[in-house]
Structure formats: C-alpha cells, structure tokens
Structure 1
C-alpha cells in the first residue's frame, strides 16, 4: 500500500469511527455545520442586525469555507502529537498524519457544500457556468490548508505552547478574513493589506462566484496557489528534517 492510499484509507476509517461514536452517525456531518452557521446568523444577523436582506447568504458563503479552514488547522496542527502512540509503534512519514486530518475535514466540507449550493439555488441565486469556478477555488483552499496544517503539525511537538497561540489566533483571523463583513466597505488602503491574507481572498472569491455569478480574478487563484506552494515547500522541508527526531519529544 502506498502512502497516498494509506492516507485515503485512514481518513475513511477515521470518518467511520467518528460517525460510530454518535447516535445519529453520518447525519452529524450535516447537523453540526448547520448549528455552527445558525448560531452565528442568530448573533450577527438577527441579534446585532448586521448586513441587509442578503446577509444570511453572505454569511453562509463565508462561514462554510472558514469552518473547513479552521477545523483543518486546529485538528491538523495536533495530528502528530495526537498520534504519538502510533508513531512509537511503526514508522510513518510524518506528512501522512496531517494529510489524513485535512482529508477528513475536506470530505466533510464536500458533503455539506452541495447543500449550500442547493439552498442558494432555491433562494433565488440562479446557478450558472460561473459556479464551475468553485473547482479551482476549492482546490486552492485544499492546498492551503494542507500546507499550513503540515507546517504547524511539524512545529508543535517541539513548541507545544504554539497550540494556544493557534487557538486564539484563529479567532482573530476569522474577523480579519471578512467572514462577517464585506471588504468592499472598508478603506481601500486597509483592504489591500487585509487581502494579503489568502483566506480573505478565498472568501471573497466564493461570494463573487455564488452570490454575484462572477469569475474569480485569475490573480486571486495564482496568489493563493503560490502562497500554498511556498508554505508547502517549507513544511515539506521541516517535516523531512524532524522525521526521525520527533519521536524523541513525543
């Protein structure tokens, strides 16, 4: 069995194991993100009355990709530490572990995404050829979360306190990425700085495609893919360096 096949098999096994621990099984994959997005809508949409008539759709198109991103980093960054027992028993290239976690979160996202698309279609957002642009956007996000999760997973065994920085940093990043507000409404100079964050660019592109039937700018795709490639190269280098050493600190 090659390592790509191992990642797929292990991810599927983890999904089934997770589903078996809940009474409603795989239905929890649908219910959990709905509750997650619903709670934010109640707070920001109804409670604080942010946005206009289409705020709910704007929020959903940002929250679902953000949920995928945050879950991938939060869980993926701990994947090597969480599998210390397995690492002590058999040899595995360390990149396998964060990739398994990212594959699991990606599968969950791909299960829920069609529900969002159906909901938007039934709400008056007519599907068009532009929706096919989701393919490169989703692919870029997968590359981004895989690269970042792998890098963090390689560092945390040696700097355990980093996990607490990640937990708090994710909350800050959520607000800086424009999950709850439209970047177009802020000052242009500040917007240019915020768009250095690839997550903010991703969320903008999801919304342009789904809510406005527009093609995402080619520069956005190139920027996110390039950012992911650089981080991926760094994470690959770090993982190779710590491959045999990490067992000593687990």
Structure 2
C-alpha cells in the first residue's frame, strides 16, 4: 500500500478505519473478537493434534502458535480481498474510482488485526522461554515480505473473481490445502525429500519456517534463499499490479453481465 499515490493512501486509511469501527460496533465484545477468534482457532488445533493425537513435540505449542498466526494473516488477506471488488458494485460503477483501493482496504484491516495478535504471540513466546535475540533484526524483513505476498495474492484473487466467479468457491479449498501444505502442524524438514521439493513451491513454507527460525531458534534466514524469495515476491507484486491496472476499466462491465 505504500506504493499507492498519496490521495489513494488517504482513501484506503480512512475507509479501513471506518470499516474497523463499524465491525467492532456490531458485537457486544467489540474489538475483543479480533483476539478471541484466532485464540479459539489455536486452541482447537492444539487440542486435536497436541492432546487427542499427541503428535506434538516438546516445543509443539510455540511451533503451532507461530505457524497458525502467520498463516491466518495470509489466509484472511486473500479471502477478504477475493470478494473486495465483486461485492462493491456502487464504487465499481464509478469509472474513475481506482479499484486497487478496495483490496488495499481489506489488507490494511487484516494487517491491523494481525499486529495485535502478533504482539500477543511475542509476549507468549517470551513467557515460554523464547526471549528476543539478535535474530530479531530480520523480523521486519520477513514481515515486509509476507505483507507484500499477502497483498499480491489478494490483488490477483480480487482481479480474477469478477470475470471467473467460480473462483470464489474454489479459494477456501485452496487455502485449506495450502494450510496443510505449509508445515503449520509438522516440520517440513522431517518429510521425504520428494515431498519437500513439492512443498517448496508453496511460498508460505519459507515464510513460516523463517519466523520460527528467528522467534524460536535464534537463527537468521539463509541469505541466498532470502534474496530469491524477495525477488520472487516483488515479481509477483509487479504482475498483480499490472493485472489489476489492465482490468480496471472493465470491472464494472463484467459485474453488470453477471
């Protein structure tokens, strides 16, 4: 979103703030649901895999927490962005309105919620015996790359669904498949090499492992892998921006024909 023009950034921040206030006002617990909901999700997965099936290791709780928090940020950005353009017919019908603003609003909202959960995660890790280390200097880089990845994937989804509405039904299944293929509940390094080579195409595998290396194991990401990943994410972002800018004039017509 920092790549938007200034007046577009102002629109994004104002609309995101209004949406957050509106969302919080609809329930009795207000903004507390932004914390309670992901905590419930983490508790359910821990109960199933850590207690019932006893598949966890000694560090399974922090291992699971890091993976789930990071994945939920990605999944929510993509899921919410996917319907951002197709659901806002009033704004889309205005030819001069930049459609890029709509998915940007959703990414900003989800990022704000994630920032709260991530702070709680850090406190939880510190209390479990994983204090801050010098490896934390890589944390802003990893966070920035994931934000750009979330944004890029959200832009692609929001651009395609007005023309291929069936994708809106497919995305939840793809996200579920991506979740189980991201190493959230298991260590990817423990799998056979042929499976690891397949999962390497999932960008969230590297992201999640990088968070764990920094937050739990006091390890810096591999420099060559970091450079390759950063280059790939920036290329994806450039393609996503090109796609939405090319389709910008015809979104309204596509939605009217549905």
Q: Taking structure 2 as the reference length, what is the TM-score of the superposition?
A: 0.93
Runs of 5+ unmatched residues, structure 2: 1-5
1:11·1:101 contact (CA, 8 Å) conserved in 2? yes
Q: Equivalent residue for 2:188? A: 183
Q: Equivalent residue for 1:208? A: 213
Q: Equivalent residue for 2:168? A: 163
Q: Distance in 2 between matches of 1:13 and 1:182?
A: 40
Runs of 5+ unmatched residues, structure 1: none
Q: 1:14 to 1:223 in 2, by over 3 A?
A: farther
Q: Equivalent residue for 1:39? A: 44
Q: Deviations over 1:165-202 (max 9, x none)?
A: 11111111111111111011112343133122211100
1:77·1:153 contact (CA, 8 Å) conserved in 2? yes
Q: Is the partner of 1:26 in helix, strand or coil?
A: helix
Quick one: which of 68, 73, 77 aligns to 2:78?
Answer: 73
Q: 1:12 to 1:224 in 2, by over 3 A?
A: farther
Quick one: which of 51, 64, 68 aligns to 1:63?
Answer: 68
Q: Distance in 1 between matches of 2:107 and 2:88?
A: 15
Q: Equivalent residue for 1:6? A: 11
Q: Equivalent residue for 1:152? A: 157
The runs of at least 4 consecutive aligned structure 1 residues that moved more than 4 Å come to: none
Q: Is the partner of 1:42 in helix, strand or coil?
A: helix
Q: Taking structure 1 as the reference length, what is the TM-score of the superposition?
A: 0.95
Q: 1:55 Cα shift?
A: 0.7
Q: 1:132 Cα shift?
A: 2.8
Q: 1:108 Cα shift?
A: 0.7
* Deviates most, 232-241 or 72-81: 232-241
Q: Deviations over 1:24-60 (max 9, x none)?
A: 1111111111111111111111111112121111000
Name the Cα RMSD after superposition.
1.4
* Deviates most, 45-54 or 147-156: 45-54
The correspondence of residues 47-58 of structure 1 with structure 2, limited to 5 A, is: 47-58=52-63
Q: Distance in 1 between matches of 2:227 and 2:171?
A: 26
1:15 and 2:20 correspond: yes
1:72·1:105 contact (CA, 8 Å) conserved in 2? yes
Q: 1:159 Cα shift?
A: 0.2
1:228 and 2:233 correspond: yes
